[in-house]
Structure 1
Amino acid sequence: MKKRNIDLVVISDVHLGTFGCHAKELLLYLDSISPKHLILNGDIVDIWQFRKRYFPKTHLEVIKKIIDLSAQGTRVTYITGNHDEMLRKFSDVSMGRIAIVDKLVLELDGKKAWFFHGDVFDASIQNAKWLAKLGGWGYDVLILLNRFVNWWLLKFKQEKFSLSKKIKNSVKKAVKHIQDFEQVAAELAIDNGYKYVICGHIHQPQVVRKVTKNGTCLYLNSGDWVENLTALEYHKKRWELINFNPEDYKNKPKITTDTDNTVKSMLAAITITQKTAVK
């Protein structure tokens, strides 16, 4: 498969280190593109739930792939989220072509774009972090259960089913939370003169035009790599929401990378970061 040249790619909410992460699919997607700029918009590594006994090789390969892209000339910007908030102590640190920031403003073809994860709008995280973390564990268990259910469905040639999506869509409060999140982000962007506002956090992929009495902007959300398997691409002055389709990668050779020597130091670094944050 020929790599696609893209100006800008945004992914978020990968949650490496959890049962729900679709690392194999993300590897296939990353291996198919050659972006000038890759923005990781938060919750890439789930440090909240990190444990050495569960960090599969494919999850490590995602990290190595990102480093490889940087070595090949891609500018990589890691925007911190709530599940990887421990990295915020390293904000504004750059290592070669990789930078860690809390938010980012870019000018795209004459229009200002505002990138941030979005957890700043989440009251449960700001006021009751322990409750948010408990919810994270419950979500991970739900995803694991969902995989078991889907295994049986596929065995009997039935379509896959998303328990978490079903719950979100059936609960009015969850739907209202998403709508409120989008509206607040858009209003702040318009008030500050941004034409694009790009978030993650709520695992709800979206590209929608927002209009207020003060102006208009395009609200975008990159979704996640747990349920939706989505990314945002900006190329030739156009935004596109990409949905991973396994059919597009059927004839692609299996990805094999040597990660053993690279990832031991990564695991150690994450563990040290965790312990330091606890102190």
Structure 2
Amino acid sequence: MKKRKIDLVVISDVHLGTYGCHADELIAYLNSIHPNKLVLNGDIIDTWQFSKNYFPPSHMKVLRKIIGMASKGTEVFYITGNHDEVLRKFSDTSMGNLHISDKLVLNLDGKKAWFFHGDVFDVSKQNAKWLAKLGGYGYGILILINRFVNWCLTNIGRERYSLSEKIKNKVKGTTKYVREFEQTGVDIAIENHYDYVICGHIHQPKKEIHITKKGKCTYLNSGDWVENLTALEYSFKRWKIYKYNQDKLSPFFADEELKEMDMHELIASITAKKEEEEKSKGKKGEKSLDEGLL
């Protein structure tokens, strides 16, 4: 099938390496699109819960697919989050079309878009990291139980049920935390004259315009690929929330060349194009110098 061409796609909170990750569904989505830019807005690889005993082939295929997209011309921005904070030591590193950073600012049709994961607003993570990690493990177990429950419900013809969403709605302070998280991001964005602020972290997809006394800003959250299976898409000067569960995707399979290439070849293909561009620039510079001498 023909792939959809999109100016920009934002994905966050994939949590590769955990039981709750929907890697197969993400592969299907990535195989159905052709974005000019792909922003991975944090928590793509879950190093907090990483185990050498659990990293299935489908999770590796996601990484290979992303690198393959970069090698074919898509500009990929990997913004670090709290679950993949180990990559922050490589911030401001670029390999061809693959860039790693803590935050990102892009100009989208004359408007400024500010991207960051959002964990900097999380007080529990900052003041009690061990408690935040413990909560992460608990959430992972809950998601695993929820998948079994939903499997049973689906087999008997019942609708799927979200245990975590039910618990979140009952826990006092959760709604307040989300509201404060969004408002903090919006206030900072308006102060810095950003038109869009794009986050992840809280696993709640959203698109909302905020107007304050100081200005106007659109808040966007890409959601996650653990429960909601959502992404943000920007094309024709408009944002929309993509929902996998509402899409009628036909089966998309990995490209044959992607199956045959190993990880080293994929990385080499990214850097090869960059080296060719640099050589081309060097030759042009030498030619200009010769013409000047003549």
TM-score by length of 2: 0.86
Paired position in structure 2 for 1:9: 9
Q: Is the 8 A contact 1:91 1:101 kept in 2?
A: yes
Distance 2:244 2:192 in 1: 33
1:213 Cα offset (Å): 1.0
CA gap 1:41/1:186 in 2 versus in 1, 3 angstroms: same
Distance 1:25 1:143 in 2: 16
**Aligned positions of 1:66-105 closer than 5 A:** 66-105=66-105
TM-score by length of 1: 0.91
Paired position in structure 2 for 1:40: 40
CA gap 1:261/1:70 in 2 versus in 1, 3 angstroms: closer
Paired position in structure 2 for 1:64: 64
DSSP 3-state at the match of 1:131 = helix
DSSP 3-state at the match of 2:81 = coil
Letter of the aligned partner of 2:178 in structure 1? I
Q: Does 1:252 align with 2:246?
A: no
Q: Does 1:115 align with 2:109?
A: no
1:262 Cα offset (Å): 2.8
Paired position in structure 1 for 2:28: 28
Measured on the aligned residues, the alpha-carbon RMSD in Å equals 1.7
Cα deviation digits, residues 217-258 of structure 1 (max 9, x gap): 000000000010000001010001000037512x32544753
Q: Structure 1 unaligned runs (5+)? A: 267-279
Paired position in structure 2 for 1:277: none
| Segment drifting more, 184-193 vs 161-170 | 161-170
Paired position in structure 2 for 1:233: 233
Letter of the aligned partner of 1:252 in structure 2? P
DSSP 3-state at the match of 1:248 = coil
Paired position in structure 2 for 1:18: 18
Distance 1:49 1:207 in 2: 30
Letter of the aligned partner of 1:28 in structure 2? A
Q: Is the 8 A contact 1:61 1:259 kept in 2?
A: no
**Aligned positions of 1:170-249 closer than 5 A:** 170-245=170-245, 248-249=248-249
Q: Is the 8 A contact 2:28 2:252 kept in 1?
A: no
Q: Structure 2 unaligned runs (5+)? A: 268-294
Q: Which runs of 4+ in 1 moved over 6 A?
A: none
Paired position in structure 1 for 2:137: 137
CA gap 1:253/1:219 in 2 versus in 1, 3 angstroms: closer
Letter of the aligned partner of 1:57 in structure 2? P
Cα deviation digits, residues 112-166 of structure 1 (max 9, x gap): 1100000000001111000000000000000000011111111111011010111
Q: How many pairs are equivalent?
A: 264
Q: Is the 8 A contact 1:16 1:55 kept in 2?
A: yes
Percent pairwise identity: 62
DSSP 3-state at the match of 1:202 = coil
DSSP 3-state at the match of 2:145 = helix
Cα deviation digits, residues 63-107 of structure 1 (max 9, x gap): 000001001100000000000001000000001100000000111
Distance 1:97 1:49 in 2: 28
Paired position in structure 1 for 2:290: none
**Aligned positions of 1:140-155 closer than 5 A:** 140-155=140-155
